[in-house]
Amino acid sequence: MIARRTSAHFVTLNAVTAGVADVRKVLEEAGERRRFYGESTLLLLDECHRWSKAQSDSILQAMEQGLIRFIGSTTENPMVSMTPALVSRCQVFAFRPLSREDLILAMRRALKDPVRGLGENRVEAEEEALQLLASMAGGDLRRALGALEVGVLTTSPDEQGVIHLNAETARESIQAPNLSLDESLYYDMLSAFCKSLRGSDSQAALIWFARLITAGADPRLLVRRLIVHASEDVGLANSQALLMACGAATALETVGMPEARIPIAEAIIYICESPKSDAVVRAVSRAFEDAENMPLTPVPVHLRDTHYRGAERLGSGKGYLYPHDFPGHYVRQDYMPEGLKGRVYYEPTDMGREGAVREAMERRGKSGS
């Protein structure tokens, strides 16, 4: 349509089969066409995400010179799957999945159209059947129409020659929802799963978990994320969350899927419904920042190792106070490296178990060392 409207010569290539040599031929012909006839060339590259960097770079100069107008089509996210140089020279148009209402409208039209659809048959489709097909097609009209055709052609008409398409037939025709899991969608769904864990929404986390597994995601990756989130987002507000996550990982290795879905779901719910604290994350980040940026100073004498012959002669351990010799098994003394006395890394919140930790630190008069 664009080529006709702009009076351009239309060329198509498929990135799966076309190489640099094919592109050179298209560019040579485009140059001759413009030189002799003043006609521009429009190149449509299907499955454009399959091109390598070298193949993508081969048309950059031609695009800048206006030798060709480039249109690429892909089911992948071009920001992830294509070279930035090529994407930066293009206008990106995102085609979204069709709504359920759009799919139902298209299926009704197909049932009435005798030339391009199923109108030559007398079909009475229940609303529930069309709703079911639309729901399980995942926004894909081709899948919805394919399932509709299967349902109509495999159902015998009644005595009056009418084919009745009900919900049961529709369900058998489409079998399972269509989950096309490209790389971009995979990471988007994984992001939604992780953010649901952090956001304490167990309902959402469960459905993202189920969708990822249904679409073929490795469950080991998901339980690894549970371990991370139990540490990052729950932390010491509820230290049992980490045990639950590790237990889910052990269950997965021991009994496998699908049985491990249950302990994994238990860990998901437990992490979601636990009080949240990132105090440990902030503490360890501060500590590593100091370790990387502060000069390495000698260990204070009273903290040095004494488990070797001659340590005492060197003064190692002199002045160290053994906590178990004091009431409450605690005695105030300096444990920090030189130059960092009074530095605070871990600041417990009032969430869950951390509230008790904070109270204990305050009783000792130690918000830090």
Asked whether the predicted pLDDT for residue 367 surpasses 80, the reply is no
Q: Is the CATH number of domain 100-174 1.10.8.60?
A: yes
The answer to whether the beta carbons of residues 143 and 178 sit under 8 Å apart is yes
pLDDT at 171: 82
User: Which residue has tokens 């952090």?
Assistant: 198
The answer to whether the beta carbons of residues 338 and 297 sit under 8 Å apart is yes
pLDDT at 362: 82
Model pLDDT for residues 283-318, shown as the tens digit of each residue: 999 999 988 888 888 888 888 888 888 878 788 888
Model pLDDT for residues 231-274, shown as the tens digit of each residue: 999 999 999 999 999 999 999 988 888 899 999 999 999 999 99
What number does CATH give the domain 280-363? 1.10.3710.10
pLDDT at 182: 63
Sheet holding 41-46, edge to edge: 9-14, 41-46, 68-73
The answer to whether the beta carbons of residues 204 and 192 sit under 8 Å apart is yes
What's the topology of domain 2-87? Rossmann fold (3.40.50)
pLDDT at 366: 56
pLDDT: which is higher, 311 or 280: 280
Asked whether the predicted pLDDT for residue 111 surpasses 80, the reply is yes
CATH class of 183-273: mainly alpha
Q: Which amino acid, one-letter code, is at 82? A: M
Of residues 68, 63, 65, the one with CA closest to residue 42: 68
Asked whether the predicted pLDDT for residue 352 surpasses 50, the reply is yes
- Per the DSSP assignment, residues forming a β-bridge with 73 are 46
Model pLDDT for residues 186-231, shown as the tens digit of each residue: 888 999 999 999 999 999 999 999 989 888 788 999 999 999 999 9
Helix (H, G, I), strand (E, B) or coil at 201: coil
Residues in the chain: 369
The answer to whether the beta carbons of residues 134 and 144 sit under 8 Å apart is yes
Model pLDDT for residues 65-81, shown as the tens digit of each residue: 888 999 999 887 787 77
Task: State the Cα torsion 360-226-252-218 to the nearest 10°.
Answer: -170
Asked whether the predicted pLDDT for residue 106 surpasses 90, the reply is yes
pLDDT at 110: 94
Q: What is the largest CA-CA distance in the chain?
A: 108
Asked whether the predicted pLDDT for residue 369 surpasses 50, the reply is no
pLDDT at 180: 54
pLDDT at 368: 43
The answer to whether the beta carbons of residues 259 and 282 sit under 8 Å apart is no
Q: Is the whole model's pTM more than 0.85, yes or no?
A: no
Task: Delimit the domains of the chain by residue range.
Answer: 2-87, 100-174, 183-273, 280-363
Whole-number mean pLDDT of the chain?
Answer: 87
Neighbours of 125 (CB within 10 A): 22
Of residues 251, 258, 256, the one with CA closest to residue 227: 251
Which ranges constitute the DSSP H helices of the chain? 2-6, 20-37, 53-57, 60-64, 78-81, 84-87, 100-112, 127-136, 141-153, 167-174, 183-198, 202-214, 219-229, 240-255, 261-273, 279-293, 353-363
245: exposed, middle or buried (Cβ count in 10 Å: 0-12, 13-18, 19+)? buried
What is the distance in angstroms between the CA of the first residue and the CA of the last residue of the chain? 73
Mean pLDDT of 88-94: 88
106: exposed, middle or buried (Cβ count in 10 Å: 0-12, 13-18, 19+)? middle
pLDDT at 196: 94
- Kind of pairing, strands 68-73 and 41-46? parallel
Model pLDDT for residues 123-175, shown as the tens digit of each residue: 889 999 999 888 888 788 998 999 899 988 888 888 888 999 888 888 887 76
Model pLDDT for residues 325-349, shown as the tens digit of each residue: 899 888 888 888 888 888 888 888 8
Residue 13 is given by DSSP the state E
